[in-house]
Chain A
Amino acid sequence: MPQSSEPVIQLQAVSKRYGDRTILDGIDLKILGGEKVAIIGPSGSGKSTILRLVMGLEPYQSGRISISGRLLPSEAESRRERRRKLQKSSGHDVGMVFQQFNLFPHMTAIQNVMEAPMHVLGLSPSDARLRARELFAKVGLQGRDEAYPAQLSGGEQQRVAIARALAMQPEVMLFDEVTSALDPELVGGVLNVLKDLARESRMTMLIVTHEMSFARDVSDRVLFMEKGRIVEQGPPSQMFSSPENERTRVFLAEILSR
């Protein structure tokens, strides 16, 4: 898998609180270009919050986040500065797929995918349509172009959402528990789409998941998080066979015995 030695995503001592609850507690993390990183851990450990911060969807109190050299300022910086940058920060170098799909319900499947390439990147409708069709083929969605999200199964909706994010050709893709809201029989298909994507693409991928075998297959590195900290990290072979940390062992034993 192609990787560069330059970090594409860098978090330094990042902390986030909601009121007096600490969500992220001094996170340090470097992710290299092209790297596929899986984040595992119990619910509420802060996994999804890392993705939301990297996407620029939420403010954080202290530390520093940079993406390809673009700084996402913390609240500690002046309010004015933060607002200005948060507005712009939704740069299309990062894309995200959500647990709840978040498709636009008033648009057909193909409009969902064409909308941002047309209105953010300035593609012509025909180019955007072409790109959307190619992506639908890639994610295994056929003959559903004109269906509205409400007419699609969960698995189909998530494929549309993946195609929609890919259509912006981001450098970094964030996957936030993308199979957690799916019926069990639909999970495998969507995971296969992601596995193919991870194998073929040079994109940097950050994947939060509860599917351990998927995390093992897809990632170069696995992070285990608990209570807002990264407790342990390493290559999947080591993390899943001989984790060093007691917490990691307990978590894996519990989740794998289910």
Chain B
Amino acid sequence: MIFDFHLAASILPLLLRGLAITIEATLSGFLFALVGGLLLALGLRATMLPVRAAASTIIEFLRNTPLLVQLYFIFYGLPLAGIRFSAMTTGILGMGLYYSAYIAEVYRGGIDAVHRGQWDAARALGFSRWQSWLRIILPQAIPPVIPVLGNYLIGMFKETPLLATITIPELLSAARQITGMTYRYTEPYAMIALIFLVISYSTSLVFRRLERKRANP
């Protein structure tokens, strides 16, 4: 098995095109999950019981079914009911929803760690429930969980090859396309592994730095 550097260089532009799509899907999906997860976490703490029940049902459903099945359901199942999304929208929606459930639990940990005296103080000053959330509770709950959110971002990035199964031309699809044309397997797969490694590791370094900065500002 010889690694052909010449071939590697020639397929790099193709792979980078796939990478751009991978990154787009990851960042969009993550943004979706950050917002969706927050809504679910707030839902778990809602005053109205039906809202709490709905939030926890959604979380359990998302966490206890495989992401691949969810993606297939949205991409191949929903169109039968007349609901049709493009492959990219499906990917962002599917990954975003799936990770919302996990990220909701992360937020929940942060929210639970805020001392209940903070709620008392907020109420004693006349803040509404929403004001208390936005001004008092969340600004304390979120910063400590940022490193954990970072882990989920990296986790999500590494799950993106699943999107190849719903025809999104991301990194793995690009590598497969190359193997189809060249019958070379070593270079494309080694290179996408390397690309995943470099990006995941450097992202983890960024989050580690953030965490250190927070610990000793």
Contacts and interface: CB of A to CB of B under 8 A. Distances in A.
A168 B122 CA distance: 12
Main secondary structure of the interface of B (DSSP, over half): helix
Interface string A98-124: 101011111000000001100111000
B136 interface: yes
Interface in A44-59: 52, 55-57
B132 to A, nearest CB: 9
B63 to A, nearest CB: 30
B68 to A, nearest CB: 40
Interface stretch (A20-28, A70-78, A83-91, A235-243): A83-91
B125 A83 contact: no
Interface residues of B, number: 18
Contact of A83 (B47, B117, B140): B47
A206 interface: no
B118 A90 contact: no
A92 interface: yes
Interface in A164-197: 164-165, 168
B123 A57 contact: yes
A228 interface: no
A95 B140 CA distance: 23
A117 to B, nearest CB: 9
Given A57-B120, A98-B117, A98-B120, A106 B140 contact: yes
B10 interface: no
Interface residues of A, number: 27
Contact of B126 (A83, A103, A120): A120
Interface string B108-130: 00000001011011011111110
A164 B123 contact: no
Contacts of A102: 115, 117-118, 120-121
26 contacts: A55-B120, A55-B123, A55-B124, A56-B123, A57-B123, A57-B124, A83-B47, A87-B128, A90-B126, A90-B127, A95-B124, A96-B120, A96-B124, A102-B115, A102-B117, A104-B118, A104-B136, A104-B140, A105-B140, A115-B135, A116-B125, A116-B127, A119-B127, A165-B125, A168-B125, A168-B126
Interface of B: 47, 115, 117-118, 120-121, 123-129, 131, 135-136, 139-140
